[in-house]
A and B are shown apart, each in its own frame.
Chain A
Amino acid sequence: MAMTSETSQTIPNRVLGLYDKPFWQLLAETRALHLQRCGSCGAFRYPPGPVCHECLSPDYAWTAVSGGGSIMSWVIFHRQYLDLYPAPYNVVAVRLDEGPIIISNLTGAEPEGSWIDRRVEMVPVPIGAEILPRFALVR
């Protein structure tokens, strides 16, 4: 996976609903991953949304998460669908330490053998004027 900042590129096909926009804005401003945290029960939401799926409270605060997690699964695409992703490229499912799963890419070194349960941390990758959250192995 290309590590360099791809300044002429754009992040493809983001879903940018009312509650998604702050997720990307906060990433671009702070380079840290923020999720909505329920003001009533403390659960984290991803994808962002209008109510807490645990307790149905509408209250929340955008809260920085640690960026740490572990890989649940991974795949290697052998076909190109998007300009930003020439084949082969990987996609990983990461279980964040705060609970939610986030789909992303592993950037940098790849593990030998199974990737499952490998510890990773979020890496903010500039794509054009935006930041895309990817993950790298924790050494």
Chain B
Amino acid sequence: MSRTNRKAAVVGVGHTDWVGDWARVRAGENPTDINGYAAFAFIDALKDAGLKRDDIDGLICGPWNPYERMGELLKLNVRWGDNADAVLAVLSAVQAIETGMAEVVALVYGNDQRSVGTQYGGPQAMGGDAFLSYVYHAPWGLTSQGALYALMFQRFRALYGFEESDLGHVAVAQRASAQHNPNAIMQGRPISLEDYLGSRYICEPLHLFDYCLINDGGVALIIAEAERARAITDRPVYIDAVGRYDLNENATTLEPRLTEFYRPAQQKVAEQVFNRAGIGPDDVDVFQVYDSFSVHVPLALEGYGYCPVGGAGKFLRESGIGLDGKLPTNTSGGHLSETYMQGWNHQVEAVRQLRGGCGSRQVEGARYVHYSSDVAGKAMSIIYGN
């Protein structure tokens, strides 16, 4: 991965009305389809950037949006195109801009997982084509991605004396932050640690509140070459560094999860991105963690050096990840309490925190946001700066 050094910046963010989409889908309506969610988010992001459609010369679609049809719907003829998940879409945009393949790239994502009943557990669980571990152990009843994190967490907590209530602080803190976010589906429904501990297990030791929401919606980002970005907006949010390290060895039998909890991958990525951005963990004002399950958060706190190995329980109890904590994390509520846009909503929140103007959830004077995802031991990070 090449050094980025402020070659590209986010100039526009947009999304659908997640709260409204949630209510309508639960009432049995279909507000739109998967490409509609992406299209509405794109319109919102164009407006946010103050750009015209003709300014766009690159298009990256989310993993579920068919690329050609999406480009057809938006009438975008472009000189760069791709399909990618949230973090790889940002990486792809940066690479396209750095190599001169594009100057203003639209990243569009839609998801209709709630209305079409996408299975994240059970015999038709999604993702099996990419990750053999998601399907290989079905003969023994291991059929859900949540169970993989439950297995990981069970061993993690035994090795480090991490308590069930320590993990509860993740769900509780993110739910508290979501109370300050009008876009959060769980605004108006705060939970206490007692609520967490009293909630049912899904795959023990994980509780209901350790699992992400499942909802429909869309997100779009517009990323531009840095000089062009400064002409477009007076509040560009720069991509200071990107990094990646994948643990593939013995991945199907969960060895990288169960022995070192992805830590070696995260440590390598930490070194890459902090060096490239010229900062350290202490300089990070807001941490955004891909949180399909709450377990991602303590693992990332340790893996990226925000606390010592084995220190995540103490960090969650004493330092805190809430808006008034030492390291505000998933300040929008994240996947657990805002919206499950598979990492895309975290990019929107990173940009909003660095622009300022997040109202009562604004982290004052935020200069750097670190986004981390560690899906199935593929550790990736982005450092955003303003």
A46 CB contacts on chain B under 8 angstroms:
253
B71-79, B94-102, B138-146 - interface stretch: B138-146
Instruction: Please give me the residue from chain B that is nearest to A14 by CB atom.
Output: B139
Q: Using CB atoms, name the residue of chain A closest to B259.
A: A72
Within the complex, the shortest CB–CB distance from B264 to chain A, in Å, comes to: 17
Considering the chains assembled together, what is the distance between the CA atoms of A38 and B147 in angstroms? 31
Q: Are B201 and A78 in contact (CB under 8 A)?
A: yes
B317 → chain A closest CB, angstroms = 22
Pick from B147, B205, B258: contact of A91, CB under 8 Å = B147
With A14-B139, A75-B147 known as contacts, the answer to whether A116 contacts B158 (CB < 8 A) is: yes
- Inter-subunit contact A103/B137 (CB<8 Å): yes
Asked if A15 is at the interface (CB within 8 A of a chain B CB), the reply is: yes
Smallest distance from the beta carbon of A104 to chain B beta carbons, Å? 5
Check if B204 sits within 8 Å of A76, measured CB to CB.
Answer: yes
**B132/A81 in contact, CB under 8 A:** no
Q: Return the chain B residue nearest A94 by Cβ.
A: B253
B254:A103 contact, CB within 8 angstroms: yes
CA of A105 to CA of B200, assembled, Å: 22
- Looking at chain B, what size class is its interface with the partner chain? 20 to 34
- Verify if B86 is at the interface (C-beta below 8 Å from A): no
Contact segment of B149-157, B220-228, B279-287, B297-305: B149-157
- Whole-angstrom distance between the Cβ of B136 and the nearest chain A Cβ: 5
Name the interface residues of A55-93: CB closer than 8 Å to any CB of B: 72-79, 81-82, 84-85, 88-89, 91, 93
> Which chain B residue lies CB-closest to A105?
B140
Interface residues of A in 73-129 (CB under 8 A from B): 73-79, 81-82, 84-85, 88-89, 91, 93, 100-105, 114, 116
Q: Which residue of B lies closest to A116 (CB)?
A: B158
Contacts of A53 in B (CB 8 A): 249-250
Q: Contacts A81-B144, A91-B142 hold; do A15 and B136 have CB atoms under 8 A apart? A: yes
Once the chains bind, are A81 and B143 in contact (CB under 8 Å)? yes
Give which listed residue, B121, B140, B155, B201, contacts A104 with CB less than 8 A: B140
Which A-chain residue is minimally distant from B123 (CB atoms)? Answer: A13
Residue A102 contacts which of B123, B152, B249, B253 (CB distance < 8 angstroms)?
B253
Q: Which residue of A lies closest to B128 (CB)?
A: A15
Instruction: Check if A39 is an interface residue, CB within 8 A of chain B.
Output: no
Are B139 and A72 within 8 A (Cβ)? no
Give CA–CA (A30, B213) in the complex, Å: 46
For the complex formed, measure the closest distance between the CB of B132 and the CB atoms of chain A, giving whole angstroms: 7
Minimum CB–CB distance from A88 to chain B (whole Å) comes to: 8
CB distance from B236 to the nearest CB of A (A): 45
Complex alpha-carbon distance, A43 and B222, angstroms: 49
- Contact status B155-A73, CB under 8 Å: yes
A75 and B123 contact, CB distance less than 8 A: no
Neighbour of A47 across the interface among B142, B144, B253, B255, CB < 8 A: B253
Is A116 a contact partner of B138 (Cβ separation < 8 A)? Answer: no
Question: In the complex, which residues of chain A have a beta carbon less than 8 angstroms from the beta carbon of B138?
Answer: 12-15, 82
Question: Which residues of the other chain, B, contact A134 by a CB distance below 8 angstroms?
Answer: 140
What are 6 contact pairs spanning A and B, CB under 8 A?
Answer: A12-B138, A79-B121, A79-B202, A91-B137, A91-B141, A103-B254
B-to-A contact residues, CB < 8 Å = 121-123, 132, 135-144, 147, 150-152, 154-155, 158, 200-205, 249-250, 252-255, 258
Q: Which residues of A contact B (CB under 8 A)?
A: 11-15, 46-47, 53, 72-79, 81-82, 84-85, 88-89, 91, 93, 100-105, 114, 116, 132, 134
